[in-house]
Amino acid sequence: MKTTVDQLYPDIWQQVFEYLNAIELFVSFMHVTRAADEVLFNRNHHFRLRGFVVDAYVETLPEKLSPDQVISLELHQGSCLNIIEQCLALRSLKLIGRPEWIICLLRKFSNVNMKFEQLVFTVPGIGSLHDLLASIASLFSLRRLAIYANESEEKVKAGALSLTQTNVEQFILHSCSSISWNELSCMLPGLSNIRFLDITLFHYNMNSFWWFTFPKLRYICLILVEVPFEWIIQLAKTMPSLIKLKLKGLVGGEGFIINHKWLNLFESCSSLAVVQ
C-alpha cells in the first residue's frame, strides 16, 4: 500500500517544516494539503518558524505568516521590514551589517520584553568590539554570543566604560584582524560566566592574563597564529575548571610536537582531561 502526500499526518508535516526556510515554507506549502495547513495555521500545534531570513530583497511577508511564530531570525542591514518587535517568541537572532547599525538596533530591545538566548553578529571588522559587547548588557536571558568579522582588518578600539557582567555562557569570536589576549583583557570581566570559549588569536602578551581568571570555563577552542607554547600553559593556569582544550593553527617554531611541554600543560591545570 502506497502513502500519498495528502495522507501524511500533521505531526509528519511539522517535522518536515522545521528544516525549511520560513518564507519559502509559506510560499510553497500553503494550501497543499489540509494537514499541512493545520500545522501552519492552527495555533493548537504551537508551530514555530526557524530560518526566517529578512534581507533587502524581502519587501512583504507571505500571507498569513505571523511574526509571533518566529523563534529564529536572520536580519540584514538595508532590509525594509521592521518586524523584530513583533517577533515576541524570538529566541535566536543573527544580525548582518555594520556595528553602528547593530548597536542602535540592540538599544531598542531594552524597552521591549525580548528573551534572546542566542545572538550572532556578522560585521566587517572588530574595531567596535568593545561597543558590541557593551550593547548586550541589558539582555539578561542571553546565553550564547558569536561574532564573526572576516571582511576587513581593524584594530580594536578602546572603550570609554568598563563592561557589565553578562550571563553569556558560550562566546565565539573569529576575525581576520590581528588581535591579542591583551586587547581582550579589558573586556573579559563582562564574560566571566562563560563555560565555552572559541576564539582566534594572532598575538600574545605574557602579562595580559595574570589578573583575570575564568572560574567556570570548561571548554576552550583556540585558533592560534604564531604564539609560543609557554603562552598556552600560562593561559591554562587562569582556568581552574577547564576540562577540554582544542588547539588549531601555528604555535611557535616547534608547533604541536609531543615533548615535556605537554606534561607542563597538564600539571598547570589539574582539571584538564582532554586535549585535541
In this structure, is residue 21 part of a structural domain?
A: no
Q: What pLDDT does residue 143 have?
A: 93
**Domain-located, residue 15:** no
259 within a domain of the structure (yes/no): yes
pLDDT value, residue 100: 93
Count of structural domains within the chain = 1
Q: 22-29 vs 34-41: helix axis angle to the nearest 10?
A: 140
Cell 611557535, residue located: 252
* Residues in Cβ contact with 16 at an 8 Å cutoff, skipping those fewer than 6 apart: none
- Domain of 179: which CATH number? 3.80.10.10
User: In 116-191, at which residue ranges do the beta strands (DSSP E only) sit?
Assistant: 118-122, 144-149, 170-175
Residue 131: exposure state from Cβ atoms within 10 A (0-12, 13-18, ≥19) = middle
Q: For residue 176, is it within any domain?
A: yes
pLDDT tens for the chain, 276 residues: list them.
556 555 566 666 666 666 666 667 666 666 666 666 666 665 555 667 777 888 888 777 767 677 777 888 889 998 877 777 777 778 889 999 999 999 988 887 766 667 889 999 999 988 888 888 888 888 888 899 999 988 777 777 776 667 778 889 999 998 877 776 766 766 776 778 889 989 887 665 555 555 567 888 899 888 877 677 777 888 888 888 889 988 887 666 555 555 677 777 777 778 888 777
Query: Residue 53: inside a domain, yes or no?
Result: no
Cα(186)–Cα(205) distance, integer angstroms: 13
User: Does residue 52 lie in a domain region?
Assistant: no
Range of the domain at 219: 91-275
In a domain, 218, yes or no: yes
**Euclidean distance between CA atoms 147 and 247, whole angstroms:** 19
Q: Is residue 59 part of a domain?
A: no
